[in-house]
């Protein structure tokens, strides 16, 4: 389930629904201290996707491999999503 905010951000940032679904299915999870799960594509998750959907599909979606989303732990709703900048890192706790 996407919140209104998440839908708006996905549209503004040009993140297609297929990438959102891939993040939810394959994205690596990182829990933060604020009750939120951060899902993002790691090298491991990209390799797993390549095995399941094929290298060509991942190559076509390469511009979206720096996308992430924030998901509420309590109800599983997607709060927001975006694209990491070139040097931005996701810190693991």
pLDDT digits (tens, 9 = 90+) for 56-85: 999 999 999 999 999 999 999 999 999 987
Q: Which residues of 35-45 are buried (b: 16+ CB within 10 A; e: fewer)?
A: ebbbbbbbeeb
Write out pLDDT tens, residues 37-62: 999 999 999 999 999 999 999 999 99
Phi, psi at residue 18, to the nearest 5°?
Answer: -65, -35
Of 53 and 87, more confident? 53
Write out pLDDT tens, residues 28-37: 999 888 889 9
Question: Given pLDDT bands bounded at 50, 70 and 90, which one contains residue 89?
Answer: low
Alpha carbons 93 and 80: distance in angstroms, whole number: 20
């Amino acid at each position: 389930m996407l919140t209104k905010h998440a839908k708006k951000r996905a549209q503004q940032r040009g993140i297609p629904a297929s990438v959102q679904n891939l993040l939810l299915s394959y994205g690596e999870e990182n829990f933060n201290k604020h009750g939120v799960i951060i899902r993002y594509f790691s090298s491991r998750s990209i390799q797993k996707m390549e095995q399941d959907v094929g290298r060509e599909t991942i190559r076509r979606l390469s511009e979206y491999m720096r996308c992430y989303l924030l998901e509420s732990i309590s109800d599983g709703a997607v709060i927001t999503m975006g694209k990491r900048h070139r040097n931005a890192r996701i810190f693991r706790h």
